[in-house]
Chain A
Amino acid sequence: MENLFKELAQIVGPSYVSNQPEERFIYSRDPGTMEPREPDFVVLPATTDEVRKIVLLANRRKIPLVPMGGGLVLSGLSRALKGGIVLDMKRMNRILEVNEKSRYALVEAGTSQGMLQAYLKKNHPTLKHSVPDSPPMATIGGNVLIHGSGHLSHAAGFHSDMLNGMEVILPTGEVVKIGSCSTSPYWFGRAPLPDLAGLFLGWFGTTGVVTKLAIKLYPNRPYQDVGVFVTEDPELVPEVLYQAAGVQVAEDITAWMTPKPDWAKGFQHININYAADAPEELIWKRNLIRASLKGLISRKVGGFLPLPPPMKKNFLEAPQTTLAQFADVRKGGGFEYVGGIMPIDLFPRAYRAGIDIAARQGTTYSTGARIIGLGHCMMFFFAYPFNRADESDVDRARRALEETNREVLEMGGIPWKAEAPAQKQIIGRMDPHTLALINRVQSMLDPQGIMNPGNWEVR
């Protein structure tokens, strides 16, 4: 182990490698409920070449390698389930290029959402990227690779749909370019080539380490507004989403349901965010959205909520800073959640499931959804707060999480960024030929089985 420390230190410098108990402790866990798993080393690479050398070393020594971005998935995906090295990628945070006319940004994978947001605001104010509601520490690379979603997902889909290309270190050490950058100096997209991006999206780092990626940017329109449509009947929500999405003027459509504060209990709130280049355009879009829901309003089964300015400001913020505050509901610094990717038809069932599970587990909840694409699917989330200082409360949240994963799969959804136990549940339902293909891909790319072992373990 001492030799390994020296070898790692030779690659990244002694300041950026640690096998100290403090780093092993903090990198053994994330803010969710998964049990800690200690790495042997934590390493902070700064360049593609350093990552390549670390991968080669890990390969030679058959040591597990766990890439980590912001470490905020809450499902423990960057825990070293079988020990080894955690690669904290956040020193690789340079913004390498912004192509204004073709609207894309090329960044190192550890670039935080917040830094890209600030960089664009300062240097390219007419452009923005789709910001997830995770804190600004979340990385661009991590969020794309887990199929994240954000404030432009209604308009443009999952963040993985907004990926133009990648630079990846394969588990055997080769540096590979994916997308147009493999053939051209430009990172404009993945077509018209064989699309190899799928070898790395959603694999939780089991097929390689992404070091650079280009993502699509979108117009940052100066006039923004949000309308909140409210109904008491969850059965109506798929219709609301279908109609509002069908107009194709919203940038983001999200739903939220919470038992607190009291006035919100029992209501389904659907936030519809839209933006424009001129005040007239904003009014026109507002009218189009309202017209799409006119039928429901005239039936008096729903309507738009008058929004006090602080609430509107909060809903227009990206990311919404208040969302993290849910972790302090039980004065305990934690919440756990399942994001179920599913068709919007399942909204009423998912909503009821969340309430029932929370009641059964004796915890409170917050549920909601983000609409992906034009209502092609949604990420329905079930969030359960817990008190980190109370082990029985943590257990309660963990049980609620497990039950929710089962329920999501049962109804036909798939848990998003699933933790290792949920991955097993998914694998248990997966088509055997799909499993066999996953196995072949993993065996081909990672013959030593060093990449984030314990995740998507089908071998």
Chain B
Amino acid sequence: MEFADILHRCFRCGYCKFPNNYQDFNCPSYSKFRFETYSPGGRMWVLRAWLNGELKTTPRLAEILFSCATCGNCVEHCVFPKFKDDILHAFLAAREEMVNQGTVPPAVRDYLKALQVHGNPYRLPAGERGKWQDGLGLELYSGQEYLFHAGCVGSLDERGMKMARSVAGLLKKLEVSFGILGTKENCDGNEALFLGEKGVFNSLVERNIQEFQSRGVKKVIALSPHAYHAFKNDYPKNSYPFEVFHYTQILAMQSKKLMGLCSQPGLRITYHDPCYLGRHNKEYQAPRKILKSISGLQLLEMGRVKENAFCCGGGGGNFFTDLLGSGPESPARGRIREAAETGASILAVACPNCAKMLEDAAKAENLEGKIAVKEISELIQEHRAEGIA
């Protein structure tokens, strides 16, 4: 297995479980399951034992492996600079092994099967992909400055579609030149890659590159930080180079047009950094810049933000497989409680996965009356002063 040579170098000191101020556990799977096996260090040692033949492949081992949300907190906080960057790579290599053995958890198998057969995890026909934008009057891509990529969640999930409509609608009002692919859009493949299915990922890369190349796409706006990450970091640079932006980066560029927005006085907001925008790609400022453009708004930061943000639990395929999803100790429920403790009445998000995970968590925690989960563009649209854009 690739990266197997780093597994024995983990001391299991546990710095990887924490944010830098140690306020609480910051590894989503450890935080939920609380057995050492579900911590990054435990996972390293268990994997080594598996490769050495000391442990067999079992459903438990598969759950340990696939419940990692790939949030990157362990990479960020590991104190061993010589191998920390490869911790996640090792977990992904192990997932790949399990995919090849055919021993993944049923939920992972079902996700990958749906993606392979239907091109999306919702098992919906391609014709459904463009419906999210019905009535918005968006143009199909035909040489505009940007291609807007809604992704599977933005195109096919009810909450994601609401967000995609809001973001695309705002971009249109701000006169950003963009088009969409509608039914021709493909999954970006981030989840397939992070679930260890490189074959499916590579075929999605090929289809996307072909589509982009044939239409001459030079710049892509990704709705989802997961797609942003995949396009930016995991697509081969040599085949067809294109620039990629997360939508908050585009909105931040338009912040002058947003300066006239105003909230009701004293509106208190907190912001949740999505792992694939923040920790994985170090973009912490763009979303905050947009929020700060709304005058009268008070940004109350949680204790765990930016490189220390606590994942909602939806990364690494867990949004679909739900290995971390249920119960009061689920990461999303922990995160919504933390958000509510700031005294904010709104939790702003910038990722369709986070939006759904945290909205569901607010319901489960009976916090809906106290804190509302809103995506950044939805917030802006609500507070759009007349005449702006």
Contact = CB atoms under 8 A, between A and B. Distances in A.
B8 A387 contact: yes
Contact of A25 (B18, B21, B49, B79): B49
Nearest to A21: B55
B24 A327 contact: no
Contacts of B35: 18, 23, 26, 42, 44, 88
Contact of A328 (B23, B49, B58, B82): B82
Interface stretch (B9-17, B181-189, B381-389): B9-17
A334 B33 CA distance: 26
Contact of B46 (A26, A328, A389): A26
A44 B38 CA distance: 13
Contact of B17 (A31, A119, A137, A324): A137
A115 B24 contact: yes
Contacts of A25: 37, 45-46, 49, 54-55
Contacts of B42: 26
B80 interface: yes
A136 B14 CA distance: 8
B173 interface: no
B79 A325 contact: yes
Given A22-B64, A122-B23, A324-B79, A135 B15 contact: yes
Nearest to B44: A333
A184 interface: no
A321 interface: yes
Contacts of A26: 35-37, 42, 45-46
B58 A122 contact: no
Interface in A166-196: none
A31 B80 contact: no
B14 A135 contact: yes
B37 A22 contact: yes
Given A118-B21, A331-B9, A70 B34 contact: no
A117 interface: yes
A242 interface: no
B294 interface: no
A21 B34 contact: no
B22 interface: yes
A21 B58 contact: yes
Interface in B106-132: none
A99 to B, nearest CB: 21
A332 B9 contact: yes
B136 to A, nearest CB: 44
Interface string B39-68: 000100110010000111010110010000
Interface string A237-279: 0000000000000000000000000000000000000000000
B169 interface: no
Contacts of A389: 8
Q: Which of A18, A27, A72, A118 has the most CB of B within 10 A?
A: A118
Interface of B is mostly: loop
Interface in B313-343: 327
A188 to B, nearest CB: 27
A317 to B, nearest CB: 11
Contact of B18 (A27, A71, A136): A136
Nearest to A68: B36
Interface string A312-335: 000000000110110110011111
A26 B45 CA distance: 7
Interface residues of A, number: 45
Contacts of A21: 55-56, 58, 60
Interface in A329-358: 331-335
Interface in A111-150: 112-115, 117-119, 121-122, 135-137
B260 interface: no
Given A332-B8, A388-B8, A324 B15 contact: yes
Contact of B22 (A91, A118, A325): A118
Contact of B36 (A15, A27, A325): A27
Interface string A376-407: 00000000000111000000000000000000
A31 B11 contact: yes
Contacts of A122: 23, 303
Given A328-B9, A333-B10, A322 B79 contact: yes
A16 interface: yes
B37 A23 contact: yes
Contacts of B34: 16, 44, 88, 90-91
Given A119-B23, A321-B79, A15 B33 contact: yes
Nearest to B77: A321
Contacts of A112: 22
A333 B60 CA distance: 25
Interface of A: 15-16, 18, 20-23, 25-27, 31, 42, 44, 70-72, 88, 90-91, 112-115, 117-119, 121-122, 135-137, 321-322, 324-325, 327-328, 331-335, 387-389
19 contacts: A18-B35, A20-B58, A25-B55, A26-B46, A72-B13, A88-B34, A114-B22, A114-B23, A118-B22, A118-B303, A122-B23, A136-B22, A137-B18, A324-B15, A327-B11, A328-B82, A333-B10, A334-B11, A388-B9
Interface of B: 8-15, 17-18, 21-24, 33-37, 42, 45-46, 49, 54-56, 58, 60-61, 64, 79-83, 303, 327
Closest CB pairs A-B (n = 10)? A114-B22, A137-B14, A327-B11, A118-B23, A389-B8, A135-B13, A333-B9, A324-B13, A388-B8, A136-B22
Given A31-B11, A114-B18, 7 more contacts: A20-B60, A23-B35, A26-B35, A325-B79, A331-B9, A332-B8, A334-B11
